[in-house]
A and B are shown apart, each in its own frame.
Chain A
């Protein structure tokens, strides 16, 4: 079946450094790729998304890149801050319009 693989499962970076989380999807018909941030005790919240006709999208310190040929997309966070500590999920919308989710990455920002 369709799946999304997400790496790494845990990422620890020094405050101020950059963080990169990578996802690979299997359904070549996928055309929408959101990233969600989940803080402790809360539900996931959309932070950025990208459609298949775009290669890169930026929003202040976060950016997402998409390589359709390789079927992978990545989240980049620059100048990391303590409030960036959370679990991040990638997802891909497949041909049945349902989101297939990655397993999540726990991002730890070290002071």
Chain B
């Protein structure tokens, strides 16, 4: 199916564990993004990628690692999960963000760290 998909949709993990959230898009968009959504903060950019093997930090990158070996995949890893990382995580993709480029979002992953 065409689109952008995230997995898992829900995840509960323990403090200190490593967890990876997956994101896959079928449009061959060059740009991909990871956001976290917390009440009262809207969407905050964690990391983004302009192309395969090119990644850059966003507003709140601490505690997260990303990689992009293929254009269509952009996994987000929490190396040692903390309770403050309990959030809803959204992946998005878009053509190069110059001009009127729409960002397409996945359905989100709700992560709970206990």
A12 to chain B, nearest CB (A): 18
Q: Which residues of B are found within 8 Å of A6, using beta-carbon distances?
A: 42
Q: Nearest Cβ distance between residue B32 and chain A, in whole angstroms?
A: 13
Contact at A98–B106, with CB atoms within 8 Å? Answer: no
Contact A41 B105 (CB under 8 A): no
A interface bracket (residues with beta carbon within 8 Å of B) = 20 to 34
Q: Min CB distance, A44 to chain B, in Å?
A: 5
Query: In this assembly, does B103 line the interface, its C-beta being within 8 Å of a C-beta of chain A?
Result: yes
Q: Which chain A residue has the least Cβ–Cβ distance from B100?
A: A49
B2 CB to nearest A CB, Å: 15
Q: Evaluate contact between B42 and A103: CB separation under 8 angstroms.
A: yes
Interface contact B97-A98, CB-CB below 8 Å: yes
A43 and B100 form a contact (CB under 8 A): no
Contact of A34 with B102 at beta-carbon distance under 8 Å, contacts A44-B43, A104-B42 already known:
yes
- Report whether A45 and B105 are in contact in the complex, using a CB–CB cutoff of 8 Å: yes
A73 an interface residue at 8 Å Cβ cutoff?
Answer: no
Interface residues of A in 54-102 (CB under 8 A from B): 89, 93, 97-99, 101-102
Asked if residues A102 and B98 are in contact (CB atoms below 8 Å), the reply is no
For residue B61, CB closer than 8 A to chain A, the reply is no
B52 contacts the other chain (Cβ, under 8 Å)?
A: no
Interface check B66, CB cutoff 8 A: no
Q: Which chain B residues lie closer than 8 Å to A9 at the CB level?
A: 40
Q: A43-B90, A98-B48, A104-B42 are in contact. List 19 more A-B contacts (CB 8 A).
A: A9-B40, A41-B107, A42-B107, A42-B108, A43-B92, A44-B43, A44-B90, A49-B102, A89-B42, A89-B43, A97-B97, A97-B98, A98-B58, A99-B45, A99-B97, A101-B44, A102-B42, A103-B40, A103-B41
